[in-house]
Structure 1
Amino acid sequence: MITTSKMRALEINSEAFGVSTLQLMENAGRSVADEIEREVEVKNSKVVIFVGHGGKGGDGLVAGRHLSERGAKVEIVLLGEIKHKDSVTNLQSILDMDFSVSLRNFEEVEGLDLNGDVLVDAMLGTGVRGKIREPFKSAIKLFNQLRGFKVSIDVPSGLDPDTGKDLGESVKPDLVVTFHDMKQGLLRTDFKVVVKRIGIPPEASLYAGPGDLMVNLKPREMKSKKGIGGRVLVVGGSETFSGAPTLSALSSLRTGADLVYVASPERTAEIISSYSPDLITIKLEGRNFNEKNVEQLTQWVEKANVVVFGPGLGLSEDAVRATPTFVEHVLKMGKPLVLDADGLKIMKGSKLSRNVVITPHPGEFKIYFGTEPSASERERIEQVMDKARECNCVVLLKGYLDVISDGTSFKLNKAGNPGMTAGGTGDTLTGIVATFVAQGIDPFTSAYMGALVNSLAGTLAYSELGPHITASDIVQKIPAVLSNPIEAFKKRVYKRVITS
């Protein structure tokens, strides 16, 4: 079963991995023709196809072309201007077919006999939203009144693909030919449904890709108010380390957080303030994080949508004593948490919660779970899934192949490059993940999206500077990735990484 948004992400990812949406459309339309041929005698039959202006319309055009080639008399009814780029390509193919396919607009069909042996619904697909408007409402009503074996492509027009709800007027088909996986809304209907594979490669779902970013990141409305992009609290730093929490905080800002608070020991906070006027620093009592700071931070935890804990924290006795208390405090307040670096080391072996993301590199993974990551990537995937169930949280194991799991599902990321061995790249990752969580995206999705954005930002920097990049270079490239994920993805340093 699959949702509309996940299907859209797969289609974009598929193209990013080299299987074009035009090819997917060809496969979809041909599979519809195949299923129709299983149901009726196609040769010399009359097939009427109602075609909308989106991708589903393109599937219908391809099906019409294949049915015509198999001897059917095909009539196509267009419900407006074709807008989908691949559908335009397939419409041109139909226009070039002078003898085998007839083509007319919906406004021209009044009084014509559109009854047929087969009627194909290629009007409205998974992109439908809200009440059905004209001319589709009238077209759907007419379609249902006509005689013939009725076939809907992907989902019946007028049906919400995720809920199965009738949106005011919907097609009542004899058969639904859907693609790749069962659509969620179809499970709530009694229609006969056939699921057809159309060539989406497994990598499109196994690896994080640009489609995951494009369907999950929503554009801001003009009337957006401060805070809509999320409020992130970064707790870290020590008398020794000031750069790590700063990198996490700046990455959060560049990812789109509206407000980022950085809580560090007083002198460290003063140093962090000098890095950027965009950061709001909270000066904690003491030279290192300590138990007195827990209560001091309560009001700031309440303000935040997510808490980052650990970058540059250090392993002082004060920090080691105070960390479990603070983590428990954050979780009791119901706040999502991204646990990284020294915070992760101190909390080793802990069972956390479903709204926690931990981001270990292999050494930290060994410290936290008491075992080294497997050398085999396939075994490592199973291992990370097991450990995510064990700690009851999302695990993002960093490496040349990132493995991310919530214990039930997993995602992989291989978009990095050799330059990302530079110090601080894990801190930028933490800030990116935290911002996605702060914006209301679930922790698992935030984790694999964050891994991809961090890697692609590093890749853009690597393409300019080679292996001489720094974490600060990654911070500056985050907006370019978010603005155009597909172009950024094209620049990735591709290597086969999975071993048996």
Structure 2
Amino acid sequence: MAAVDRNAEALGVPRKQLMESSGNAVAGEVRRLADPGATVAIVAGRGNNGGDALVAARFLDEYDVSVHLLGRPETVTTDIARENWEALQAAEYDTRAVTDSTALDLDDPDVVVDAMLGTGVTGALRDPAATAARAMNDRDATVLSVDVPSGIDADTGDAPGVAVEADHVVTFHDEKPGLAELDTTVTVADIGIPAAAEQFTGPGDLLTLDRPAESHKGDFGEVLVVGGGPYTGAPALAAQAALRAGADLVRVACPDSVAREIQGFSENLILRPYDGERLTSAQVPEVASLAAEHDVLVLGPGLGNHEETLAAVGDLLEAYDGTAVVDADALSVVPNVETEATLICTPHRGEFRRMGGEADDDWRRRADSVAGFAADLGDVLLVKGPYDVISDGETTRVNRTGNPGMTVGGTGDVLAGATGALACVLSPLQAAAVGAYANGRAGDAAVEDAGHGLLATDLIDRLPAALWEDGQ
């Protein structure tokens, strides 16, 4: 939901507007549960979940409302929540800052609104929230929780410690998975988030990328790029993009006849050459064994379409059971191969047609075609175009970053490598969606700097900013 909120904001629907709609929905539920004149105690946390309830107080003038903020007002974590707290104080509502859990006094209200913690918080409640939860549970009041009962994991419905025992929950935009596990009444309120905030990729998708301070080498994955032979630039581009997209280690398996050329592109590349001038079935056992030692395989950049090579690609996919990003000529093998691998296929529209798909010029019809084809394959498809379409057959995303300058050769290799790195830490669908978004942003930044004479290498150094700026 944080990602959806951020994407909605990028579409022009500000979070402050969403908070107003959420608060109005909370107030509507209070009015449904109690008659005017009833006493209502709002217990608000210091984040946007609490901010929703602070807004609700302004819509409940016909009730006897008290607002209890858990913590010092100056520690409210978002500007919009703080603005709503200050608005209540300026209008002289009954507001109380609870800086000591023993000072919480709910009295005997008819309705208690639990707005302490939202969907982004997990783990057992700590004071003052834990004490407040017990106080709510001890009252005879009707308890209405905002978005999810505090102390309940929104994904699982589990409570690792004390949790609010809600009689009713008002949640926003969509029901959270964990709510289905609770014995409570759930109302899903439409707060005006456009469907496009979920369909189109946006800066909110970058929120999935996190780098804990205690991270260690290897935590963000090892990628093997299998490519090269007829071409040397493509595997080098893919490998460098994987590094720039956050993989900890990237190796390139290539014919020894081109290893020196590929190594020459960057000292950061680790080469694992095999005998010969191209990939053939004779090298598959060696390459498959190497691939099994990596988190993700990127297969295809620069391999070419020699009959022996395509047969080897099929053999390798049949022997491999990990996650693989498949690109370029290797894509032609996918529809006819039996594999236990999890595939992320990255064709442009011409390659998609050659795989057997229908790449309509209209992106909406193309999205339907891609979703159906992905469902038949049982894999993720990222079909590149002016609008990239990403689907696993159940969920379909559309990416609108990028520009005509990116028709230059090599940008697809950059995308394949970046997606491979992201697949080390994200689900296949997320990796493809974030990869497409970041690759397009990098291309947009390159065009802004250099015009439409951009090179694929221009994207690589811009990937970190495309992935980590605006999302954190």
Q: TM-score range by the shorter chain?
A: over 0.9
Residues 66-98 of structure 1, C-alpha deviations (whole Å, 9 max, x = no match): 112xx2222111210322222111111111112
Alignment-derived partner of residue 222 in structure 1: 214
Alignment-derived partner of residue 336 in structure 1: 323
**Aligned with 1:468: secondary structure?**
coil
Alignment-derived partner of residue 235 in structure 2: 245
Distance 1:90 1:401 in 2: 39
Alignment-derived partner of residue 224 in structure 2: 233
Distance 1:103 1:26 in 2: 21
Alignment-derived partner of residue 185 in structure 2: 192
Residues 415-464 of structure 1, C-alpha deviations (whole Å, 9 max, x = no match): 1112111111100000011111223x221221111111111111111221
In the superposition, relative to structure 1, how do residues 384 and 281 fare at CA in structure 2: closer, same or farther (>3 Å)?
same
**Aligned with 2:394: secondary structure?**
coil
1:363 aligns with 2:350: yes
Q: CA deviation at 1:482?
A: 2.0
What amino acid sits opposite 1:254 in the alignment? R
Alignment-derived partner of residue 410 in structure 2: 424
Alignment-derived partner of residue 473 in structure 1: 458
**Aligned with 1:75: secondary structure?**
strand
The correspondence for 1:384, drawn from 349, 354, 370, is 370
After superposition, residues 241-320 of structure 1 pair within 5 angstroms as 241-320=231-310
Indicate the percent of aligned positions where both proteins have the same amino acid.
38
Quick check: 2:101–2:131 contact (8 Å CA) kept in 1? no
In the superposition, relative to structure 1, how do residues 231 and 473 fare at CA in structure 2: closer, same or farther (>3 Å)?
same
1:119 aligns with 2:112: yes
Q: CA deviation at 1:405?
A: 0.9
Alignment-derived partner of residue 408 in structure 1: 394
Quick check: 2:70–2:97 contact (8 Å CA) kept in 1? no
Residues 374-413 of structure 1, C-alpha deviations (whole Å, 9 max, x = no match): 2222221111111112222111110001111111111110
The correspondence for 2:10, drawn from 13, 16, 25, is 16
| Superposition CA RMSD, Å | 2.0
The correspondence for 1:75, drawn from 54, 57, 66, is 66
The correspondence for 1:205, drawn from 198, 208, 211, is 198
Distance 2:392 2:192 in 1: 27
Distance 2:105 2:192 in 1: 38
Structure 2 alignment gaps of length 5 or more: none
**Aligned with 1:380: secondary structure?**
helix
Alignment-derived partner of residue 482 in structure 1: 467
The correspondence for 1:453, drawn from 438, 441, 447, is 438
What amino acid sits opposite 1:345 in the alignment? S
Q: Mean alpha-carbon deviation: is it higher for 100-109 or for 56-65?
A: 100-109
1:131 aligns with 2:124: yes
The correspondence for 1:86, drawn from 76, 80, 90, is 80
Distance 1:291 1:307 in 2: 17
**Aligned with 1:173: secondary structure?**
coil
Q: CA deviation at 1:159?
A: 1.7
Quick check: 2:288–2:316 contact (8 Å CA) kept in 1? no
Q: Mean alpha-carbon deviation: is it higher for 54-63 or for 344-353?
A: 344-353
The correspondence for 2:449, drawn from 455, 464, 473, is 464
Quick check: 1:120–1:151 contact (8 Å CA) kept in 2? yes
Distance 2:335 2:105 in 1: 74
Alignment-derived partner of residue 163 in structure 1: 156
Distance 2:104 2:400 in 1: 58
Quick check: 1:345–1:368 contact (8 Å CA) kept in 2? yes
Q: CA deviation at 1:104?
A: 4.3
Q: CA deviation at 1:219?
A: 0.7
Distance 1:144 1:269 in 2: 68
Number of residue pairs matched by the alignment? 469
What is the TM-score of this pair, normalised by structure 1?
A: 0.89
Distance 2:421 2:402 in 1: 20
In the superposition, relative to structure 1, how do residues 251 and 114 fare at CA in structure 2: closer, same or farther (>3 Å)?
same
Residues 168-214 of structure 1, C-alpha deviations (whole Å, 9 max, x = no match): 22222322111111111111111111110111111110011221221
Residues 326-361 of structure 1, C-alpha deviations (whole Å, 9 max, x = no match): 22122xxx2211111011134454465561011111
Distance 2:443 2:300 in 1: 22
1:30 aligns with 2:21: no
Distance 2:153 2:160 in 1: 7
In the superposition, relative to structure 1, how do residues 415 and 142 fare at CA in structure 2: closer, same or farther (>3 Å)?
same
Distance 1:453 1:223 in 2: 23
Q: CA deviation at 1:302?
A: 2.3
**Aligned with 2:57: secondary structure?**
helix
1:40 aligns with 2:31: no
